[in-house]
Amino acid sequence: MILVLVETDAHGATETSQETLTFARELADRRGGLTLHALLVGPLADGITQAALTQLGEQGVSTVRHAQHEQLSSYAAGSWATAVATATESVSADIVMAAGTARGSEIMAHVATRLDATMAANVVAVDDVDPLTVSRQVMGGAVLEVMRVASVPAVLTVAGHAVDPRAAALPTQPHVEVFEPPLTESDVVGRVVRVEATEVDDTAALTGARVVVGAGRGAGSAHGFDDLLELSELLDGTLGVSRVVTSLGWRPHHEQVGQTGSRIAPDVYIACGISGAIQHWAGCQSAKTIIAINTDADAPMVTKAHYAVIGDLHEIVPAINEELRRRGS
């Protein structure tokens, strides 16, 4: 049996949790048809709605376990981990996994410690099912490591965009089982007491975009983005930037792509004036087609891209915009 910790937002399971469910289901099939259980933790704004159950059923989930306890009213890695570890032990899960988000990674590290289990973080593929052997991203995605996970249960987190969410061939009608994990004061020693938005966060627009126009130091200054923004609008896409750009305060942090920003997987990524450092590459390498615009023909972004235009972005991008406007008119 495979147990998946599912993170939720206003629309049900998050995109990364749906990816993880698909990853888990395909692994369950390869293990001879293991059952798939989903675990929800803490209060949900609308409870477990029929829409949420349908969504989980489309992923092939047979049972939804819902951990409820008054100490789960605010997030604490310790209490979430106790809920996951309790569910794992009570159903004797062979594998327990979560999306490799900040919270997923934090919780599963606690879970592995509590279960005295082996953990593989940021898994992108299963190489062998017996013994379980996985490939996982390390060094911000620059290196793939093959790891044997011999413990039972095995604890995994799945890297973002490792798979696209896909519906099961045969949808299920999951039933819900509520349980109360045995939480103690020590589980909530470190817990979230307040959440404040620091800036308008439009990360979802970036991670979900089919076209991303990337902008790096080559933009020149905070005033160098007008043509790049226009290009992203003309292509019905959005802007993504390098860390230099956010560090210099030219653009907000939620637009950052990379190891410490968002990982994107658009159909097209147009990287303008970006050198392609490994920390940036970690966030954009899943793009289906990468086009680099750069003055340096030897820049890593240029050598790794599918297509490249060598030249000044301040000349090339306005020319592309003009042509797109002409074709659109």
Ligand X SMILES: Cc1cc2nc3c(=O)[nH]c(=O)nc-3n(C[C@H](O)[C@H](O)[C@H](O)COP(=O)(O)OP(=O)(O)OC[C@H]3O[C@@H](n4cnc5c(N)ncnc54)[C@H](O)[C@@H]3O)c2cc1C
Residue list 193-222, contact with ligand X (CB under 6 A): 216-218
Residue 74, judged by CB atoms within 10 A of its CB (0-12, 13-18, 19+), counts as middle
The stretch among 1-9, 69-77, 183-191, 257-265 that binds ligand X (CB under 6 A) is 257-265
With binding defined as CB under 6 A, does residue 258 bind ligand X?
yes
Q: What is the Rg, in whole angstroms, of the alpha carbon atoms belonging to the chain?
A: 22
- Cis bond leading into 153, ω under 30°? yes
Tokens of 167: 């519906």
With binding defined as CB under 6 A, does residue 313 bind ligand X?
yes
Nearer to ligand X, 120 or 282 (CB): 282
Nearer to ligand X, 52 or 305 (CB): 305
With binding defined as CB under 6 A, does residue 253 bind ligand X?
no
Rounded to an integer, what distance in angstroms lies between the CA atom of residue 62 and that of residue 84? 17
In the chain, beta strands by DSSP E: 2-5, 8-9, 12-13, 36-41, 63-67, 95-99, 119-129, 132-138, 143-148, 154-158, 175-179, 211-215, 238-241, 268-272, 289-294, 307-310
Among 260, 304, 318, 324, interactor with ligand X by CB under 6 A: 260
The stretch among 59-67, 131-139, 161-169, 289-297 that binds ligand X (CB under 6 A) is 289-297
Among 22, 242, 285, 321, interactor with ligand X by CB under 6 A: 242
With binding defined as CB under 6 A, does residue 280 bind ligand X?
yes
With binding defined as CB under 6 A, does residue 273 bind ligand X?
yes
Rounded to an integer, what distance in angstroms lies between the CA atom of residue 169 and that of residue 171? 6
Q: Which amino acid is at 179?
A: F
Among 299, 305, 308, 320, interactor with ligand X by CB under 6 A: 299
The stretch among 12-20, 178-186, 232-240, 253-261 that binds ligand X (CB under 6 A) is 253-261
Rounded to an integer, what distance in angstroms lies between the CA atom of residue 107 and that of residue 283? 22
Residue-by-residue DSSP string for 174-219: -EEEEE-----GGGGSS--------S---HHHHHH-SEEEEE-GGG
With binding defined as CB under 6 A, does residue 279 bind ligand X?
yes
Among 26, 94, 233, 296, interactor with ligand X by CB under 6 A: 296
With binding defined as CB under 6 A, does residue 295 bind ligand X?
yes
For ligand X (CB under 6 A), the number of binding residues is 28
With binding defined as CB under 6 A, does residue 284 bind ligand X?
no
Q: Please report where in the chains the tokens 């087609």 appear, as a residue.
A: 289
**C-beta of 160: minimal distance to ligand X in Å?**
13
**C-beta of 230: minimal distance to ligand X in Å?**
16
Rounded to an integer, what distance in angstroms lies between the CA atom of residue 189 and that of residue 74? 12
**C-beta of 147: minimal distance to ligand X in Å?**
23
With binding defined as CB under 6 A, does residue 13 bind ligand X?
no
**C-beta of 271: minimal distance to ligand X in Å?**
8
Rounded to an integer, what distance in angstroms lies between the CA atom of residue 319 and that of residue 211? 18
Nearer to ligand X, 104 or 216 (CB): 216
With binding defined as CB under 6 A, does residue 304 bind ligand X?
no
Nearer to ligand X, 129 or 248 (CB): 248
Contact 101, 16 (CB under 8 A): yes
Q: Cα-Cα-Cα-Cα dihedral of 24, 26, 29, 30, to 10°?
A: -100
What is the rounded end-to-end Cα distance, in angstroms, of the chain?
A: 57
Nearer to ligand X, 80 or 250 (CB): 250
Contact 84, 182 (CB under 8 A): no
Residues found near ligand X in the complex (CB under 6 A)? 216-218, 242-245, 256-261, 273-275, 277, 279-280, 283, 293-296, 299, 312-314
